[in-house]
Structure 1
């Protein structure tokens, strides 16, 4: 499995990494509806206490991502993608075992710290895709990763809610089993994508930190601007897990079952975009065109979500917002062209660090305006205020991409 990928094995490798990503995200999706409920149980049913702990978990995970992602990214450039992916999957399994058997909230907290330190399977998988695809086909490969993400977050929450009704610890045990199967699959099947001659010659601690990651973004022309686009997009996307369940319940009076079906419809729309639309749009409009279309559709979708006075009008925004699935393939395609093969892991580590910052800033940025809007709903009539803030961020990302998302010369020779 440590032999580098050559020739026809590249297509098979993409299949391997797709399954790995699906299992990884599926296990995370299972956790979405059940972790807050478990925290509420530990807190004796006190919703305020549960909210405080959930915020602490989210911020802690983001901080650990910010600190550790550059280290794991550089490790994948130095030692290969495969060991880092396997380490990350193992860390996820340990986290779920902590959740399954934790006797107190503090044990859950330790598990979140450990997971935040090792959570790099998806970012390293993105570097893996960059290794096994030619620059011309890279956006399509990243579209496959987007489809894996959509599959996991479409069916994971439904699975978690179904398992929760049988036993409150069962979802975490199932997630741990999924992570173990994923690890075994990767150990026995997943080949290495980065041959020794294309790796970093040594592990440099000066690069293995958030400052070093930012220096990588500054060293390559246009990369820092693209990273800014990605950061604004990630920050805006934090509105979805932060307030959307609360928002749909408050504004439209939807029951949890209706909200779950709506989220599933959104996920299915995203999968269809990744599987059917991404390749065609990139072929016609290029990576820059796909990025701009995706960002503008994300902005327009958020506007519809934030202003829709009825549930039916809200649903009209689903297909429009689904086209925001063009963002990551276009953005990753443009960014990976600007760095060498032995810097792809550092690039994804830097992207994960930026995502960590967004995960820290996002919850208070959207939860506080939502609370304000709800408290003053009688006079303000604007429960969609946090969604409109996300729309403004997406519009800013569109404007930045218009000036910074320029095609770059290919920084690596075509793969054999």
Structure 2
């Protein structure tokens, strides 16, 4: 596809794809302050609600792990447009189901459906790869990363403000937004994958383990996937441990925690929405990838060693530049895969996200518990952050061996 054609098709389509990802992230964020309260209403006591909330989180991640490659493979077979639109309408219906849920079992079903429909991020990524020239992909994937930052600012805010009125109200609002977004996409979203570039749907490629085989198909893809796994795993430390760690270490209340998370989100938006494209253009994907990982090591080390809240804030700019890694890695990985397998690639990457989503929360929760409990005598309450920094340091070592050839885009499977 020529650059001119790609740019023409991208203009209305990218705005919709951006909205899809943004809404997915808002959907994740909106339940943070609301879902535990709903669960508590059904469960009857806080301790039981905490156990059920953990089960809900793991079940959501499991759906992501299973269905991301399914939706990615379906988009390779039938095109991106139908998969994206069906999942968008499904997300709207899921919000309404959650808002109406009369029992805990119905609410659990709603969370499972949410995990399935939000797996459309793999197809959204494949769409961007279809319509964007290879040299511009890092910037566009950076914009999608900015959607995550915006979503994690707006989502909890939406949930907190409207959830104070009624715990079910945020689900109604999000459902309405999702329905409007899906209807808008029905009229403006063109298909990005022509019939001649589509591939057959195969079960072995549409399950998590089959899809992951694609990540082992070239030496560069294999190395980047190893680094991406470490990155995704380390990335879970902040959402899993921050609230409890900040309260224990710095004595922060909910207001200060919310303010700090907003700072993190805004810094992420600035870097991924405005700087990724410029940085990659100036230094290339490989150096941007290394810079992102190194910044992550610095940020997590500062978080882990910070004796006071002000020192924790000093790590936020470094944490924002950690966002260089994802778009640069995505851009390099899409060059290694033919057009008819971009959906499978994005599905495999989303499966990695789901897999680390099952492991990361348990790992870092345990390390935090040990650091402020049995391991308190070692004087490292930020041990979870230091472990995450060590994982990224391994990623830096692996990334140092990455060798990038000039931009290319295969036109058929190897």
* TM-score, reference length from structure 2: 0.93
Counterpart of 2:37? 37
CA RMSD of aligned residues (A): 1.8
Asked if residue 133 in structure 1 is aligned to residue 132 in structure 2, the reply is yes
The answer as to whether partners of 1:334 and 1:407 remain within 8 angstroms in 2 is no
Q: Deviations over 1:348-395 (max 9, x none)?
A: 000111111101101110111111222247533322111111111111
Q: Deviations over 1:329-362 (max 9, x none)?
A: 1000010000001110000000111111101101
1: CA distance between counterparts of 2:181 and 2:384? 36
Match of 2:265 among 250, 267, 271: 267
Counterpart of 2:24? 24
1: CA distance between counterparts of 2:90 and 2:7? 32
Q: Which runs of 5+ in 1 are unaligned?
A: none
Counterpart of 2:250? 252
Large movers: runs of 4+ above 4 Å: none
2: CA distance between counterparts of 1:37 and 1:161? 11
The answer as to whether partners of 1:294 and 1:327 remain within 8 angstroms in 2 is yes
* TM-score, reference length from structure 1: 0.93
Match of 1:371 among 369, 375, 379: 369
Counterpart of 1:15? 15
Shift of 1:228: 1.3
2: CA distance between counterparts of 1:409 and 1:316? 36
Match of 2:237 among 193, 218, 239: 239
Cα distance, 1:109–1:407 mapped onto 2, change above 3 Å:
farther
Asked if residue 191 in structure 1 is aligned to residue 205 in structure 2, the reply is no
Counterpart of 1:388? 386
Matches for 1:283-362 after TM superposition, within 5 Å: 283-362=281-360
Shift of 1:32: 1.8
2: CA distance between counterparts of 1:373 and 1:129? 42
Q: Which moved more, 1:245-254 or 1:132-141?
A: 245-254
2: CA distance between counterparts of 1:147 and 1:67? 25
Q: Which runs of 5+ in 2 are unaligned?
A: none
The answer as to whether partners of 1:26 and 1:155 remain within 8 angstroms in 2 is yes
Counterpart of 1:92? 91
The answer as to whether partners of 1:226 and 1:405 remain within 8 angstroms in 2 is no
Matches for 1:143-154 after TM superposition, within 5 Å: 143-154=142-153
1: CA distance between counterparts of 2:21 and 2:179? 13
Q: Please state whether the residue corresponding to 2:400 is helix, strand or coil.
A: helix
Shift of 1:256: 0.8
